[in-house]
Amino acid sequence: MNEPKVVVVKHEHNGGSIRTYTIGFVLSIVLTVAAYILTSKGTLSGWSLVYILGALAVAQLLVQLIFFLHMGRESRPRWNLTVALFAVMLVGILVFGTLWIMKNLQYSHTHQLTTPSQTDQLIIHDEGYGQ
């Protein structure tokens, strides 16, 4: 007689709960309102405001990835995470690469420079890099 084989049907239980969604929602609201108040009160300005707003946005990105998209809770192999990290790399190269090149180009444009290395020298001189 055949013994009945025990098969565990794995439920995709990475859906979170009311609790995790509520925590994510409250944290998101707090982070959004904090960013708004910091900006509208005008207590900070310039680069310090940009950095703090950037940090708040990244914090909210993580909150929503964890509490709404349930990242990091999938079982191995973690293909979702792998693809996401690859996307992060692409986004980084695209955004920082674009800003870097365009800043360089703008320098050479405004100062009538011809070679990239001349432009680099000028940026190093003007911005005080490497000193």
Partner 1 sequence: MSEAALERQIERQEADAKSIFGFWVYLMTDCVLFATLFATFAVLRDSTFGGPGGNDIFSLPFVLVETLALLTSSFTCGLAMLAVRRRDRQQVLILLGITFLLGLFFLTMEVTEFHHLVQEGNSWRRSGFLSSFFTLVSTHGLHITVGLLWMAVLMVRTAKQGLGRTTQRQLTMLSLFWHFLDIIWIFIFTIVYLMGRAAV
By the 8 A CB rule, do 34 and 89 touch? no
The amino acid at 20: T
* CA–CA distance, 20 with 65 (Å, rounded to integer): 12
Task: Count residues near partner 1 (CB under 8 A).
Answer: 51
Q: Tell me the C-alpha distance between 57 and 63, whole Å.
A: 10
Instruction: Print the binding letters for residues 34-73 with partner 1: x by CB under 8 A, - otherwise.
Output: -xx--xx-x--xxx-xx--xx-xx--xx--xx--xx----
Which residue among 80, 104, 108, 118 contacts partner 1 (CB under 8 A)? 80
Candidates 91-99, 112-120, 121-129; binding stretch for partner 1 (CB under 8 A): 91-99
User: Between 5 and 129, whose beta carbon lies closer to partner 1?
Assistant: 5
CB atoms within 10 A of CB 67: 20
Please name the residue that has the structure tokens 């955004």: 95
Q: Which residues contact 74 (CB under 8 A, 6 or more apart)?
A: 14, 80, 81
Binding stretches for partner 1 (CB under 8 A): 4-5, 7, 9-10, 12, 15-18, 21-22, 24-25, 28-29, 32-33, 35-36, 39-40, 42, 45-47, 49-50, 53-54, 56-57, 60-61, 64-65, 68-69, 79-80, 83-84, 86-87, 90-91, 94-95, 98-99, 102
